[in-house]
A and B are shown apart, each in its own frame.
Chain A
């Protein structure tokens, strides 16, 4: 084994690209894979980490989030190409611990269990041991153009979903080129759609991972999603993260943006000229008499693949991002990821206003709401892709929302039972 390693690295030293990361002198270099605003957040909180750990250098790599998930999965299967620390989308996390490719980090996470929510305490465990570090979470929120709302006599924040739809009609009546907010078809539309399901408090799967049959509640939510585009006609159908989506943001084609907290990062970059016009509010309550409940738009988890050798350094970096209050707050201020650390959430700095909004996003869109998390299963991409297909068929007019839900349920039963 040792000889093969030497052969592989020596003989292929030139052809083999880069040398493995071993401690050169006293500095350990580790790689960290994350995306967009998380890379920016990490860059912002990195200097302090360096001060505390001068012997560790972190290389922060910005990759597409879906690709990171796939690459890390494959890396664990092959032992090649895994980063030292990776950021995993929470909904896809369940697939990883059973592969045996993640480092058991129980001893580093369990001692501070009280600092994060009960949901994470269950989700990050596999057979009773922690395999991931809680990192940040994203609440589903609505950003809106205050100037456009005021023009049409709409007062924000809008409390319930029915009121939101009503306001949407006023926006549309005034100008047929403007819409209330955006709805996305396709597999990428599943993330936003989940926010609606969760605001309505709906599960698709039981806690054991079986499909809930004849899920009328879910079918209703899908119908609402369909109707706001095709019946009430208040929403712009545009695929998430495409050029058209960004253009809609910057030209005011949509009066509101349904997004996670990180949407602020997108607005800052795409609609910089409109600083001060955008504000944020809670996702509207699904029912006037229902709980003040919103959905999430994913959270992320830090994992340490076992394949690499720099476990100690990797754990230090992950722990820093996860537990250090300054780091967690820095991540909120620079990347708009909501801290999972309860202590960080209580810090008064969380309530500081964001310059672009002129208000505190935390107070306006997070506080005062319970976040609902739907039950997850393994191989989440299957769920995403299947729902994406049904959404496309539904929005193309090929099937009714009821039919789309029935077909989705049937496909899930075939996969998961």
Chain B
């Protein structure tokens, strides 16, 4: 008797610590944040319910849309570059004739071990005008490069490039694992049928990679849509709000202007956008099974 009781109680006891923490630090705040988004809360005074006023204000807030727009297009640029770069790298690394595969794989992964803050700080001295590495290299050849971080056209690209640098090796490893799981027999069969190497890749390997690709695309999207560290450190959202991301906007409203209710509302709109995009990606990349 006691055994069976203990057995039915067991799962609940096992999950209790996790959900106690999860409830306090994730689920609870997510719900509370939703409620706070309907209040005006300046931190010093208790929150005052104001209905939909925050959302109305968001819809009229030019900077919020600029932030959303920047976030979306930087995300597109990053997801495309990161996935293409890492997939290509993985394809090369997967080649059976390649030597030193493990060395390359490890070496390319290294940038992932450093935090986004440290990578941003390091890249400051790469992108800086006059004294940055790029500027100095160009000076040797006699060209004056653009002020990467001070020009609204190049600043977002510079940040995306920095991120691709950091995460390329990580996603390459994931794609590599996916590639190595593609059935060798299928590839052999295609080759026997006379397919060229490129056709094998296109018609056998890539389709088989769809689940892995979906995983990588979803991960890269979420991390891009939540970009904060790099613009915060390198450009503070400038120049001219060109690198203002949605999360930066939330941080500014919440912790610099101390408008916590408004910030909560903004973060919820961002959540909706992220969820919508994730669902769209699943539908697009997910269901086309062989």
Is there a contact between chains A and B in the complex with CB atoms less than 8 Å apart?
yes
Which residues, 108 to 134 on B, are CB-close (under 8 Å) to A?
Answer: 124-125, 128-132
| Interface residues, chain A, with chain B CB atoms under 8 Å away | 70, 73-74, 76-78, 99-101, 185-187, 239, 242-244, 247, 379, 381-382, 385, 388-389, 392-393, 396
CB distance from B266 to the nearest CB of A (A): 15
Q: Does B178 contact A (CB under 8 A)?
A: no
A243 contact from B44, B128, B236, Cβ within 8 A: B128
Please state if A392 and B130 are interface contacts (CB–CB under 8 Å).
no
The contact size tier of chain B is 20 to 34
B130 contact from A99, A239, A244, Cβ within 8 A: A244
Interface of A is mostly: helix
CB-CB under 8 A from A393, the residues of chain B are 240
Please state if B147 and A392 are interface contacts (CB–CB under 8 Å).
no
Supposing A243-B132, A244-B130 touch, asked if A388 and B258 sit within 8 A by C-beta, the answer is no
Supposing A73-B258, A77-B43 touch, asked if A396 and B240 sit within 8 A by C-beta, the answer is yes
Q: Give Cα distance in the complex from A77 to B259, angstroms.
A: 12
Q: Does B226 contact A (CB under 8 A)?
A: no
Q: Give Cα distance in the complex from A99 to B45, angstroms.
A: 9
CB distance from B262 to the nearest CB of A (A): 13
| Interface residues, chain B, with chain A CB atoms under 8 Å away | 42-44, 63, 124-125, 128-132, 147, 150, 152, 236, 238-241, 252, 255-258
Most chain A CB within a 10 A radius of its CB, from B43, B240, B256, B257: B240
Question: Closest chain A residue to B124 by CB distance?
Answer: A243
Please state if A244 and B147 are interface contacts (CB–CB under 8 Å).
yes
Supposing A243-B129, A392-B152 touch, asked if A186 and B44 sit within 8 A by C-beta, the answer is no
Question: Closest chain B residue to A74 by CB distance?
Answer: B255
Please state if A239 and B150 are interface contacts (CB–CB under 8 Å).
yes
Please state if A186 and B239 are interface contacts (CB–CB under 8 Å).
yes
Please state if B130 and A381 are interface contacts (CB–CB under 8 Å).
no
Please state if A74 and B240 are interface contacts (CB–CB under 8 Å).
no
15 contacts between A and B (CB under 8 A): A73-B258, A78-B43, A99-B44, A185-B239, A185-B240, A186-B239, A242-B129, A243-B129, A243-B130, A243-B132, A244-B130, A247-B129, A247-B130, A247-B131, A389-B63
CB distance from A379 to the nearest CB of B (A): 7
CB distance from A417 to the nearest CB of B (A): 15
Supposing A74-B43, A78-B43, A243-B132 touch, asked if A392 and B239 sit within 8 A by C-beta, the answer is yes
CB distance from B231 to the nearest CB of A (A): 13
Q: Give Cα distance in the complex from A101 to B239, angstroms.
A: 34
Please state if B147 and A186 are interface contacts (CB–CB under 8 Å).
no
CB distance from B77 to the nearest CB of A (A): 20
Supposing A239-B150, A244-B130 touch, asked if A388 and B238 sit within 8 A by C-beta, the answer is yes
Q: Give Cα distance in the complex from A185 to B131, angstroms.
A: 20
CB-CB under 8 A from A392, the residues of chain B are 152, 238-241
Please state if A244 and B258 are interface contacts (CB–CB under 8 Å).
no
A396 contact from B129, B152, B236, B252, Cβ within 8 A: B152
Please state if A242 and B150 are interface contacts (CB–CB under 8 Å).
yes
CB-CB under 8 A from B258, the residues of chain A are 73-74, 77
CB distance from B258 to the nearest CB of A (A): 6
Closest 9 CB pairs of A and B: A392-B240, A77-B43, A244-B129, A243-B128, A247-B130, A77-B44, A99-B44, A186-B238, A392-B239
CB distance from A396 to the nearest CB of B (A): 6
Please state if A389 and B241 are interface contacts (CB–CB under 8 Å).
yes
CB-CB under 8 A from B131, the residues of chain A are 243, 247
Q: Give Cα distance in the complex from A186 to B244, angstroms.
A: 13
Most chain B CB within a 10 A radius of its CB, from A185, A381, A389, A396: A389
Q: Give Cα distance in the complex from A76 to B43, angstroms.
A: 9
CB-CB under 8 A from A247, the residues of chain B are 129-131
Please state if B152 and A381 are interface contacts (CB–CB under 8 Å).
no
Question: Closest chain B residue to A73 by CB distance?
Answer: B258
Q: Give Cα distance in the complex from A185 to B252, angstroms.
A: 20
CB-CB under 8 A from A385, the residues of chain B are 252
Other than A242-B128, A392-B239, A392-B240, give 15 A-B pairs with Cβ distance below 8 A: A70-B256, A74-B255, A74-B258, A77-B42, A78-B43, A185-B239, A187-B236, A242-B150, A244-B150, A247-B131, A381-B256, A382-B257, A388-B238, A389-B63, A393-B240
CB distance from B70 to the nearest CB of A (A): 13
Q: Give Cα distance in the complex from A186 to B150, angstroms.
A: 9
Please state if B44 and A379 are interface contacts (CB–CB under 8 Å).
no
Q: Give Cα distance in the complex from A53 to B257, angstroms.
A: 38
CB distance from B34 to the nearest CB of A (A): 21
Q: Give Cα distance in the complex from A217 to B139, angstroms.
A: 43
Q: Give Cα distance in the complex from A36 to B8, angstroms.
A: 63
Please state if A186 and B130 are interface contacts (CB–CB under 8 Å).
no
Supposing A186-B240, A243-B129, A392-B241 touch, asked if A381 and B257 sit within 8 A by C-beta, the answer is yes
Q: Give Cα distance in the complex from A243 to B258, angstroms.
A: 31
Question: Closest chain A residue to B125 by CB distance?
Answer: A243
Please state if A101 and B241 are interface contacts (CB–CB under 8 Å).
no
Question: Closest chain A residue to B62 by CB distance?
Answer: A411
Question: Closest chain B residue to A414 by CB distance?
Answer: B60
Q: Give Cα distance in the complex from A172 to B44, angstroms.
A: 53
Question: Closest chain B residue to A247 by CB distance?
Answer: B130
Please state if B128 and A244 are interface contacts (CB–CB under 8 Å).
yes
CB distance from A230 to the nearest CB of B (A): 16
Please state if A76 and B130 are interface contacts (CB–CB under 8 Å).
no
CB distance from A237 to the nearest CB of B (A): 9
CB-CB under 8 A from A242, the residues of chain B are 128-129, 150
Q: Give Cα distance in the complex from A389 to B42, angstroms.
A: 25
CB-CB under 8 A from A244, the residues of chain B are 128-130, 147, 150
Q: Give Cα distance in the complex from A393 to B236, angstroms.
A: 16
Question: Closest chain A residue to B61 by CB distance?
Answer: A414
CB-CB under 8 A from B128, the residues of chain A are 242-244
CB-CB under 8 A from B150, the residues of chain A are 239, 242, 244
CB-CB under 8 A from A101, the residues of chain B are 44
Question: Closest chain A residue to B63 by CB distance?
Answer: A389
CB distance from B137 to the nearest CB of A (A): 16
